[in-house]
Amino acid sequence: MTREIDFYFDFSSPYGYIASVKIDHLASKFGRTVRWRPFLIGAVYKALDCPSIPEQPAKFDYMRRDLPRSAAYYGVPFSFAPTFPEALLAPARAVWWLNDRDPAVAGAFARAAYHAYWAEGHRIGEPGVTADIAAGLGVDRDELLAALGDQAVKDRLRRETDDAIARGVFGSPYIVIDGEPFWGSDRLVQVEAWLESGGWPK
Amino acid sequence: MTREIDFYFDFSSPYGYIASVKIDHLASKFGRTVRWRPFLIGAVYKALDCPSIPEQPAKFDYMRRDLPRSAAYYGVPFSFAPTFPEALLAPARAVWWLNDRDPAVAGAFARAAYHAYWAEGHRIGEPGVTADIAAGLGVDRDELLAALGDQAVKDRLRRETDDAIARGVFGSPYIVIDGEPFWGSDRLVQVEAWLESGGWPK
């Protein structure tokens, strides 16, 4: 049994951002670490044959209202990203490249990039912005920029997205603990209860 | 400003059922009453151009796992309805017919019918079963059975469904408090905080 918690997310997912602020602290409380697993939610929507949330007016209207309210409820700084919706490839590729070098740095980068996008409105989809954030954490800026253009790194993100879909991931955040899946930032209370009790009768 | 809380739901929605167990107590704690507003979620999915959850294998697999877990977390008796998915017209029509006579009885019936379906596996889609549940609450069985076949009552449910969609309802449960919408049983904690504080800064 792994002690890792799998945290599947897309940087364009604001509920993934809310969970990103909490998940490391929650995991460490129970002696766990977090494996940050970015994927491309556009591919998920395609696989589900479902319009994305921004393409569903009623749901999108609700989300724009629910998000600042939920962020305030959780005490998480939040400002609707001005460039949303968009595919955020650069930071997702960066996380996988960093995961192979130092998962703790990958996690720190993921949290920082999420914050830059959903609290400060930075354009993290641009490789230069992603590289700046990583450089602030001691990562070699030029080496990362080169990696972002590397076909192998691009393929890696695509493969990880396919693997996530094959595993049943259909939204962000999607958290798996010892095989038990939890979808959505609103499941964090159950994640905590689950870790506390070691699972409960179904 | 109305003191009513609008509770939009479909009887085939298990998360609506979980919320149905809690909502009246929550409302009365803050001097509110609940207006039970059944609609047909099939029409919502059609309007959204989105497959229903049972038609999305990954989401349905997750839901079958999340539901007993969430019910246990909330302390709500739960047993997956053996005849799900299906359109549950009879109890929804009954609620609207009862709403015009005695909203408190309509609410008691809605809770009882939800429990009969999602905790005890009864076929509440059958008019006779719906009538039995209502009769147990003092409703005239024959009068209700006649109403279930009445075109005006059928039209009423259809119109209420259209109105719900026009108001932005896209799922069940969908709760509106003084214009503020909350979607999903997992928002009950925010509903409570909202009622407690009279809304919070956005």
In a domain, A56, yes or no: yes
Q: Where are the alpha helices (DSSP H) in chain A?
A: 14-29, 41-48, 57-74, 89-99, 103-118, 127-135, 141-148, 151-167, 188-197
CA proximity to A13, closest of A171, A134, A189? A171
**Which residue is closest to A73 within chain B, CA to CA?**
B190
Q: How far apart are CA A77 and CA A115, in angstroms?
A: 8
Residue given tokens 């956005």 in the structure block: B202
Given B13, B20, B172, B185, the catalytic residue: B13
% of residues, chain B, pLDDT over 90: 89
Nearest to B69 among A165, A184, A190 (CB): A190
Q: Which residues pair with B182 in a beta bridge?
A: B175
Provide, as residue numbers in chain B, all residues whose Cβ is less than 8 Å from the Cβ of A68: 202
Model pLDDT, residue B53: 86
ipTM score above 0.95: no
Residue B166's region, left for phi above 0, alpha for psi from -120 to 50, else beta, is alpha
pLDDT value at position B48? 79
Angstrom distance (rounded) from CA B111 to CA B22: 10
Quick one: which of B8, B15, B129, B131 has its CA closest to B71? B15
Kindly report the CATH number assigned to the domain that includes residue A143.
3.40.30.10
B51 neighbourhood in chain A, CB within 8 Å: 48-50
> pTM (2 decimals)?
0.94
Phi, psi (rounded to 5 degrees) for A174: -135, 115
Is B31 part of any domain?
Answer: yes
Convert the pLDDT of each residue in B151-185 to its tens digit: 999 999 999 999 999 999 999 999 999 999 999 99
What amino acid is encoded at A147 in this protein? A
The predicted pLDDT at position A2 comes to 57
DSSP A118: H
Is B71 a domain residue?
yes
Chain B contact for A80, CB < 8 A? no
CA distance A126 to A108: 19
Rounded Cα–Cα distance for residues A43 and A41 (Å): 5
Asked if residue B108 is part of any domain, the answer here is yes
Q: CA nearest A133: which of A103, A79, A90? A: A90
Please check whether residue A202 lies inside any domain of the structure: no
Q: What is the mean pLDDT of residues B99-122?
A: 98
Residues of A in contact with B180 (CB under 8 A): 65
Q: What angle do CA B58, B61, B67 make, to 5 degrees?
A: 130
Query: DSSP characters for B128-191?
Result: HHHHHHHHTTT--HHHHHHHHT-HHHHHHHHHHHHHHHHTT--SSSEEEETTEEEESGGGHHHH
Q: Which of B59, B186, B202 sits opposite A170 (nearest CB)?
A: B59
A61 in contact with B, Cβ within 8 Å:
yes
Q: What are A42-72's pLDDT values in tens digits?
A: 998 888 777 888 888 999 999 999 999 999 9
CA B44 to chain centre: 14
pLDDT band at B201 (very low <50, low <70, confident <90, very high): low
In-domain check, residue A106? yes
Q: What angle do CA A9, A124, A79 make, to 5 degrees?
A: 80
Tens-place pLDDT, residues B122-145: 999 999 999 999 999 999 999 999
Angle, vertex CA B110, rays to CA B176 and CA B63, nearest 5: 75
Grouping H, G, I as helix, E, B as strand and the rest as coil, residue A52 is coil
Backbone torsions φ then ψ of B199, nearest 5 degrees: 90, 155
In a domain, A130, yes or no: yes
The type of residue at A1 is M
Q: Along the 202 residues of chain A, how does pLDDT read in single tens digits?
A: 458 999 999 999 999 999 999 999 999 999 999 999 999 999 988 887 778 888 889 999 999 999 999 999 999 999 999 999 999 999 999 999 999 999 999 999 999 999 999 999 999 999 999 999 999 999 999 999 999 999 999 999 999 999 999 999 999 999 999 999 999 999 999 999 999 998 765 4
- Strands of B174-177's sheet in order across: B33-38, B4-9, B174-177, B180-183
- Full domain range(s) for residue B179: 4-197
The pLDDT of B6-18, averaged and rounded, is 98
Asked whether residue B202 is domain-assigned, the answer is: no
pLDDT, residue A172, reads: 97
Q: Least CA distance to A74: which residue of chain B?
A: B190
Average pLDDT of span B42-53 = 85
Contacts 24+ apart (CB under 8 A), A106-113: A106/A36, A107/A24, A107/A34, A107/A36, A108/A137, A109/A133, A109/A134, A109/A137, A109/A139, A110/A9, A110/A20, A110/A36, A110/A38, A111/A20, A111/A21, A111/A24, A112/A136, A112/A137, A113/A11
Known catalytic membership, residue A13: yes
Interface test with A, best of B53, B61, B66, B172 (most A CBs within 10 A): B66
Nearest to A181 among B62, B165, B184 (CB): B62
Q: Chain B closest CA to A15's CA: distance in Å?
A: 14
- Position B46 confidence tier, pLDDT thresholds 50, 70, 90: confident
Number of A:B CB contacts under 8 A?
81
> In this complex, do B186 and A181 lie within 8 Å of one another by their Cβ atoms?
no
Instruction: Evaluate if residue B110 carries a pLDDT over 60.
Output: yes
Chain A CB contacts of B182 below 8 Å: 66
What is the bridge-based pairing of β-strands B180-183 and B174-177?
Answer: antiparallel
B188 near B194, Cβ under 8 Å? no
> How many structural domains are present in chain A?
1
The pLDDT assigned to A47 comes to 83
